[in-house]
Amino acid sequence: MNRERLYLFDTTLRDGAQTAGVDFTLDDKIAVAQMLDRLGVDYVEGGYPGANPTDTEFFARPRTEKATFTAFGMTKRAGRSAANDPGLQGVLQAQAGACCFVAKSWDFHVTNALGVTLEENLESIRETVAASVAAGRETMVDCEHFFDGYKANPDYALACARAARDAGARWVVLCDTNGGTTPEEVADIVGRVAEVVPGKNLGVHAHDDMGLAVANSLAAVKAGARQIQGALNGLGERCGNANLTTLIPTLKLKPDFSDRFEVGVSDEALAGLSSLSRAFDELINRPSNRYAPYVGANAFATKAGIHASAILKDPRTYEHIAPDSVGNHRRLLVSDQGGKSNLLSELARVGVEVDKSDPRLDRLLAEVKAREAQGYAYEGAEASFALLAKRALGRVPDFFTVESFRVMVSRRRDPLGGQITVSEAVVKVTVDGEPLITAAEGIGPVNALDLALRKDLGRYQPFIAQLRLTDYKVRILNGGTDAITRVLIESTDGDGEVWTTVGVSPNVVDASFEALTDSLTYKLLKANAPAP
Ligand SMILES: CC(=O)SCCNC(=O)CCNC(=O)[C@H](O)C(C)(C)COP(=O)(O)OP(=O)(O)OC[C@H]1O[C@@H](n2cnc3c(N)ncnc32)[C@H](O)[C@@H]1OP(=O)(O)O
Ligand SMILES: CC(=O)C(=O)O
């Protein structure tokens, strides 16, 4: 069966740049454009040339993308000709294969936000599109607030869409700018527009203010839209745009769409989607959403024992797609919600082979559940889980024994003004029967303890030389004076592996120390340090 082509238009670098807390540098923009090109989107909207120096410079650099590089702008101002509008001329002169112009299509906006007549706005649309087509650009018009506009004054909203199409726009994009439209309304309105603006040149641009941007985009496709605008990881103004990392797998993997439509993203590119999504978050310096559909670290993570048992028999029992088709992984987590199936799977993953009938498994499972009841959380602390399991099986040597530790935090007046706070720690350990005492100063008590503990571990010192902490998280589990503290510490070494350990105690320093010693022991095991 011949499938119809759907065109993917990425607005990460334009609408995504309107996300609170996101601020792309020129280098960021170049890197993101390359990511998008490798992914296989059809259009990369680079920004608004003339609006700010970064965007202007971005459009001035030599172009290497295969995707159609698109400049964004607004329709010309009323009362000026297109040739006399410096903003519009800046967009038309930018190096781009396409121009996308935002145009008002809600009468209320025309009169109240622009302050011009309805006819003047139509004239702006016509002249802007004509000027862009004359400049040799593939031209598209983002009909801003189209759905709200259609509900308020369908004739006028349609007149805007027709003005764009009749003046030569290749795409007329219907925008749910405020994100307040439901999928049923989108399907109904797109269907009606497709009847009066025929030619398969409708697009959709949906915002996520009701969490419906993806659903609205899919509804629009079913009703006749053939271009979808969206952004990586759902970036965009307010709650964001339709999330391309959700839309792309849906379009490619769900027969409802993949039987009828094709997109420019290859199966290989789809298999790189999870790492692309995480690399993008890394680039904009924000934590990845572990719960993101398809690409989140938890998208295929199962805690429930009943689910894990079935997944081990056949993953299709609880997975709607194969995780590796989007470059993601199945994880069966060990927790108080799981049984032996979770445990065996997790043990295999951390390299511990054990027979299902081994009685030590029952003891280990009971211990995991008892510890989780105390506040430990092994699903996010895989290194501590590996140690707990290997200890239960007698596979962890006592590399060192902690005899005691002491931490002191003092604050004193600085003679030069202000206050100075100093943390000092002393740690006593025994290695091979030899007592070792170390002391260190740190920027806080945990830092001082970490430095003291790693200062001298006798003959194990060379094995931990590259060890360093990369993250430290504290969670208070019960409020009030009986509070229990859970500390998660992330560590790394020269090999590039990152591991997380957990400590739990009513005392935050004590909990931290437990997580620190687990991290050291994990590193010694990983480095095959000889047993004492
Ligand atoms: C729905 C969307 O996401 S649309 C994209 C929105 N994105 C952005 O605005 C980011 C980039 N924008 C900018 O950097 C600036 O707004 C600029 C450079 C474009 C314009 O800056 P300024 O000239 O200082 O105008 P300002 O930002 O204060 O206001 C926007 C102007 O554009 C006008 N305008 C808005 N939309 C349109 C349109 N579709 N067609 C014509 N004019 C428009 C407004 O009426 C307003 O003009 P006014 O103050 O004379 O009424
Ligand atoms: C054009 C655009 O970003 C919007 O209408 O939401």
What's the pLDDT tens digit per position in 65-78? 899 999 999 999 99
16 CA to centre of ligand 2 in angstroms: 11
What's the pLDDT tens digit per position in 504-514? 999 999 999 99
242 CA to centre of ligand 2 in angstroms: 11
Q: Is the pLDDT of residue 148 over 70?
A: yes
pLDDT interval class at 17 (50, 70, 90): very high
Take atom 3 of ligand 2 and give the residue whose Cα is closest. 15
175 CA to centre of ligand 2 in angstroms: 6
Q: How many CB atoms lie within 10 A of CB 152?
A: 14
- Point out the least confidently predicted range of 184-193, 290-299, 395-404, 478-487: 478-487
Q: How far apart are CA 149 and CA 109, in angstroms?
A: 9
Q: Which residue has the tokens 């009362």?
A: 79
104 CA to centre of ligand 1 in angstroms: 11
Q: Is the pLDDT of residue 482 over 90?
A: no
Take atom 15 of ligand 1 and give the residue whose Cα is closest. 51
β-bridge partners, 474: 487
Token pair listed for 424: 């000092």
401-526, CATH topology level: Double Stranded RNA Binding Domain (3.30.160)
Q: How many CB atoms lie within 10 A of CB 287?
A: 8
Give the ligand at the shortest distance from the Cα of 105.
1
Q: Taking residues 229-251, report their average pLDDT.
A: 98
Give the ligand at the shortest distance from the Cα of 148.
2
Note whether ipTM > 0.90 here: yes
Q: How far apart are CA 522 and CA 208, in angstroms?
A: 43
pLDDT for res 479 = 63
Q: How many CB atoms lie within 10 A of CB 68?
A: 17
pLDDT for res 349 = 83
- Helix, strand, coil % (nearest 5) of the chain? 45, 20, 35
β-bridge partners, 502: 488
342 or 482, which is more confident?
Answer: 342
Question: Tell me, what amino acid is at 196?
Answer: V
pLDDT interval class at 497 (50, 70, 90): confident
Take atom 4 of ligand 2 and give the residue whose Cα is closest. 177
With beta carbons less than 8 A apart as the criterion, state whether 263 and 248 touch: yes
Q: Is the pLDDT of residue 480 over 70?
A: no
Residues with CB under 6 A from ligand 1: 15, 18, 48, 51-52, 74-75, 77, 102-104, 113-114, 124, 144, 177, 237
Q: Where in the chain is the domain with CATH 3.30.160.270?
A: 401-526
Q: How far apart are CA 456 and CA 374, in angstroms?
A: 32
Which one is the CATH code of 4-265: 3.30.70.2860, 3.40.50.300, 3.20.20.70, 3.10.20.30? Answer: 3.20.20.70
Best residue among 48, 59, 241 to mutate for probing ligand 1's pocket (most ligand atoms within 8 Å of CB) is 48
Whole-number average pLDDT of the chain? 94
Q: Is the pLDDT of residue 481 over 70?
A: no
Q: Is 328 helix (H, G, I), strand (E, B) or coil?
A: coil
Q: Where in the chain is the domain with CATH 3.20.20.70?
A: 4-265
CA 455 to each of CA 83, 406, 426: distance values in angstroms, whole numbers, following the listed order = 71, 15, 11
What's the pLDDT tens digit per position in 75-109? 999 999 999 999 999 999 999 999 999 999 999 99
β-bridge partners, 274: none
pLDDT for res 201 = 96
pLDDT interval class at 121 (50, 70, 90): very high
| 68-74/98-104 β-pairing | parallel
What's the pLDDT tens digit per position in 364-421? 999 988 898 888 988 789 899 999 999 998 899 999 999 999 999 999 898 888 998 9
Q: How many CB atoms lie within 10 A of CB 191?
A: 15
Task: Tell me the pTM.
Answer: 0.82
Please, how many CA atoms are within 13 Å of residue 294, restricted to the half-sphere of its CB? 25
